[in-house]
């Protein structure tokens, strides 16, 4: 369904003055009618047909005035109201102001009473979680939806826990109200589905022989290292799913990412072992370079002439000193080198 913007004049203030005037006439006629009936009962005054008509008209006008009062609509900035008349969509009020519409038009918003973990939800919740003052207005502001953490298997089958925050807004009120049953619940469910769809493509950490882009070439994409790219793909996936509900996704961000508790300890040990191996490799590379530099310096300056056996012993001693976890305890040779 296509959104129709209500373009008629607002007429809120003129109709308010007219309704106040009609209420004044109605109350006056009612009072005069009651007073006349009381006087006729107490003093035997003949009942005047004019006062009877005035009294009956005032009763009818009370009903008419109550109906007229239901036509007032007031909108704040970034709010909208969807109007329907006897089941037919009539239009959407979008501009802030004081409106008067057909009093038989009703406002329609099936998601008015829905409470999600998001900012700027319509309505107010009291301390005992009882909903108070639920409004049928639709907020056009940017809102943030933060769903609960989900346990999902990544592309390697490792269970992880992940949650996202989605910034969204309603751009087409007719689609949001009429094309889906409840656009807030629809958005929440589609966010969960899109998150599962994207997470299963990536490993938690960089892994060999994994293609995350779909081009058939292994890459270094991962949930932990490519968070910006993953968030962008999640946003695009959610937008494809909720476009038919008149919702625009502004941004999606990963707010929590961790291994599931049942494998967290094992994965931590694996990461620690990998870090130790990388550190040892760096230390060994540096030590070999230092030994080579020392041997070259001794040969260039003709400080000492070492045979292959003495060079091997020197290299062994230097590597032990440079690669050891603890400080070396040297033994000073005060005698001959040989």
Q: What is the pLDDT of residue 338?
A: 54
Q: Which of 102, 84, 82 is nearest to 92 (CA)?
A: 82
Radius of gyration for the chain, computed over Cα atoms and rounded to the nearest angstrom: 39
Burial class (CB in 10 A: 0-12, 13-18, 19+), 239: middle
Chain centroid offset of residue 31 CA: 57
Average pLDDT for runs of 10 along the chain of length 338: 83 91 90 77 68 85 92 91 91 91 90 69 42 71 88 89 93 92 92 92 86 84 88 94 94 90 76 77 82 78 72 75 67 56
Cβ neighbours around 249 below 10 Å, total:
24
pTM: 0.71
Q: What is the pLDDT of residue 280?
A: 78
Cβ neighbours around 194 below 10 Å, total:
24
3-state SS assignment for residue 143: strand
3-state SS assignment for residue 93: strand
3-state SS assignment for residue 322: helix
Whether residue 158 contacts residue 258, with contact meaning beta carbons closer than 8 Å, is answered with no
The Cα 155–Cα 107 span in angstroms is: 47
The Cα 200–Cα 20 span in angstroms is: 63
Q: What interhelical angle do 49-69 and 12-43 show, nearest 10?
A: 150
């Amino acid at each position: 369904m296509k959104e129709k913007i209500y373009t008629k004049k607002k007429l809120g203030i003129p109709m308010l003055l007219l309704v106040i005037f009609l209420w004044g006439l109605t109350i006056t006629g009612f009072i005069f009618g009651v007073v006349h009936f009381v006087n006729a009962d107490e003093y035997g005054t003949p009942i005047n047909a004019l006062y009877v008509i005035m009294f009956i008209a005032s009763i009818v006008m009370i009903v008419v005035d109550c109906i007229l009062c239901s036509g007032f609509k007031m909108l704040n900035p970034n709010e909208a109201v969807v109007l329907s008349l006897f089941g037919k969509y009539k239009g959407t009020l979008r501009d802030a102001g004081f409106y008067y519409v057909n009093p038989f038009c009703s406002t329609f918003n099936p998601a008015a009473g829905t409470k999600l973990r998001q900012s700027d939800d319509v309505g107010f919740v009291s301390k005992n979680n009882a909903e108070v003052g639920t409004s049928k207005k639709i907020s056009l502001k940017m809102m943030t939806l933060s769903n609960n953490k989900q346990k999902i298997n990544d592309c390697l089958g490792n269970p992880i826990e992940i949650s996202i925050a989605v910034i969204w807004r309603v751009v087409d009120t007719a689609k949001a109200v009429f094309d889906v049953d409840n656009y807030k619940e629809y958005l929440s469910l589609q966010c969960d589905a899109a998150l599962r769809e994207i997470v299963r493509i990536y490993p938690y950490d960089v892994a060999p022989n994994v293609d995350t882009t779909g081009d058939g070439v292994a890459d270094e994409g991962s949930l932990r290292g490519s968070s910006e790219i993953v968030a962008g793909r999640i946003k695009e996936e959610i937008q494809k799913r909720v476009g038919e509900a008149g919702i625009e996704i502004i941004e999606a961000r990963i707010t929590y990412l961790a291994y599931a508790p049942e494998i967290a300890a094992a994965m931590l040990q694996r990461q620690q072992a990998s870090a130790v191996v990388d550190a040892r490799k760096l230390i060994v590379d540096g030590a070999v370079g230092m030994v080579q530099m020392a041997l070259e310096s001794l040969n260039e300056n003709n400080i000492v002439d070492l045979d292959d056996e003495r060079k091997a012993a020197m290299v062994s001693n230097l590597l032990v000193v440079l690669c050891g976890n603890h400080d070396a305890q040297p033994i000073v040779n005060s005698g001959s080198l040989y």
